Chains A and B, each alone.
Chain A
Amino acid sequence: NAGVTQTPKFQVLKTGQSMTLQCAQDMNHEYMSWYRQDPGMGLRLIHYSVGAGITDQGEVPNGYNVSRSTTEDFPLRLLSAAPSQTSVYFCASSYSPTNYGYTFGSGTRLTVV
């Protein structure tokens, strides 16, 4: 199994540009989520989904959009990139967080200049 796959691994954007971070899992997990990791701040939840067609906001949703049209895919869209969005982004999935915990992707390192 590939697990959780994130693309791209690295990206540099100019302020104001938009882009989509891709996340795909092949484990038939219903729960998927996006986090950003910043030095000294730990991982913060951006958006999450509890199944296809269902998404909701986390702690830091501003500037990001998500959709969940299939169980496998959960893309994160940056609408108009800002330097404050420079971070490492992780996608995670779970069959049942209370019983099985989470599986993480390898991350996307995004720099906005």
Chain B
Amino acid sequence: KQEVTQIPAALSVPEGENLVLNCSFTDSAIYNLQWFRQDPGKGLTSLLLIQSSQREQTSGRLNASLDKSSGRSTLYIAASQPGDSATYLCAGVNSGGYQKVTFGTGTKLQVIP
């Protein structure tokens, strides 16, 4: 059974700092890994999707990497802004009749002005 872990559960950084969010998974047989952002009381917004054949994806100030052999993915946020404050979730899709997706419990990020 796939398990996805995100550490730390919460992170507070000053504005302008570069930061890395971590996501670990136990089953390396994943098809892809997706990073989401969730604002309080809102739904999940997809940020980046990394296929198992890829090593990283970039969108603006965000860069996500995937290392299947070590069971890790990281989300790098450059020059953090107060508007980046949110909970960040990672989710891995595994093989199976449903192509099961397993979510981490998230990292709550606060960027302090």
Query: Considering the chains assembled together, what is the distance between the CA atoms of A48 and B89 in angstroms?
Result: 20
Instruction: Verify if B11 is at the interface (C-beta below 8 Å from A).
Output: no
Q: Which residues of A contact B34 (CB under 8 A)?
A: 101-102
How far in angstroms is the closest Cβ of chain A from B35? 10
Contact status B51-A103, CB under 8 Å:
no
Instruction: Verify if A90 is at the interface (C-beta below 8 Å from B).
Output: yes
Q: Which residues of A contact B61 (CB under 8 A)?
A: none
Q: Which residues of B contact A35 (CB under 8 A)?
A: 103
How far in angstroms is the closest Cβ of chain A from B31? 4
Contact count band on A: 20 to 34
Contact count band on B: 20 to 34
Which chain B residues in 62-113 approach chain A with CB under 8 Å?
Answer: 89, 91, 93, 97-101, 103-106
30 A–B contacts, CB within 8 A, in A order: A31-B98, A35-B103, A42-B89, A42-B103, A42-B104, A42-B106, A43-B103, A45-B101, A48-B98, A50-B97, A56-B98, A97-B31, A97-B93, A97-B101, A98-B31, A98-B93, A98-B99, A99-B51, A100-B49, A101-B32, A101-B46, A101-B49, A101-B93, A102-B34, A102-B91, A104-B36, A104-B46, A105-B43, A106-B42, A107-B42
Q: Which positions in B face A, CB cutoff 8 Å?
A: 31-32, 34, 36, 41-46, 49, 51, 89, 91, 93, 97-101, 103-106
